[in-house]
Amino acid sequence: MSINNYSPFHDLRSIIFNLPKVELHRHLEGSLRLATLSEIAYENGVDLPTMDPEELRPFVQVVEADDPDFKGFLAKFSLLRRFYSSREAVMRVAYEAVADAAADNIYYLELRFNPVALALNQGFSFEDVTDWVIEAVDKASVDHQIEVRLIVLINRMEPQYAPELTEIAVAKQDKGIVGLDLAGDEQTFGDVTGLVKVFQWAKSEGLFVTVHAAEAGPPSNITSAVEKLGAERIGHGVQAMRSIDVIDLLRRQNITLEMCPTSNLQTGIVGRLHQHPVYAYHQLGIPVTINTDDPSICNITLTDELIVTTRGIGMPLRILPDIILNAAKAAFLREPEKTRLVNWFRKALNETFITTSLD
């Protein structure tokens, strides 16, 4: 079977599953197992519409009956905040998020999390929940042989917490926190002026920066993210295609896009998979990566997402190793760690792709 003449769907899945993978854009709060949610709710008396995992599904996961809707997608996170009801619950969901990534042949993961989402409803401190996530992720990375780094996420709707979250992230760089992210409803909260000093300080203290931009908002949000906040990567960036100037900015500054096709379809950002710009961006020379965004909410794995990219969007299978290598090159690592990671993936992808793609 040649790489240009694979036949059944299961052969394609096997090829893609066996590729060693990198994921740069995965939210902890969007990575909870349904069964775990039910168990946590039962054990901690969480007030829910139902305790049955299947009946709970439409409240926390995109289902077939859901209309594509950006704000409807974000609303599922509100209910999920009820589940971080104890130290044990937070640690369990963090551990399982890493374990599930490793089970999908992901060897390097950057997991982003919002301490406010994990702490606020229960009155925990942001620093405590951050330490719990770090502890659980460290254990899971050893148990499942996966390299993990953490990104602290600031919600656009909760900018008042940005200084404290940034100070925590900066202070815990020696414990695996490598970056700062800005996410949330950019349609309503697109102005980042009030966050400029916080992000500039974070960069001066050694953190990398990624920003959700031009997912549902205008292309100019990318310009603000790069020029005002110092973003080295952009989450989504789907709307960049509407501006030649923004496309030029991404190419000139070699800004990597963390793209999530299934999420973009479910939020209504793209109407059809074949309209997704990820392959076009690649052809234009913009470094693109493929990610799950929220694997439990979207009900996907990274293997699924790469299959979607080939079968639904039309990216040739032979290009996937280059896309994975893009992610390794864009990892939030300093030298010599970055070179080590890239060299490992270059060798492993070459060996694995040849072995799994050819008779």
Active centre residues (catalytic): 215
128, burial (CB in 10 Å: exposed 0-12, middle 13-18, buried 19+): middle
The two most distant CA atoms of the chain are separated, in Å, by 57
- My answer on whether omega of the bond before 336 falls inside 30° of 0, hence cis, is yes
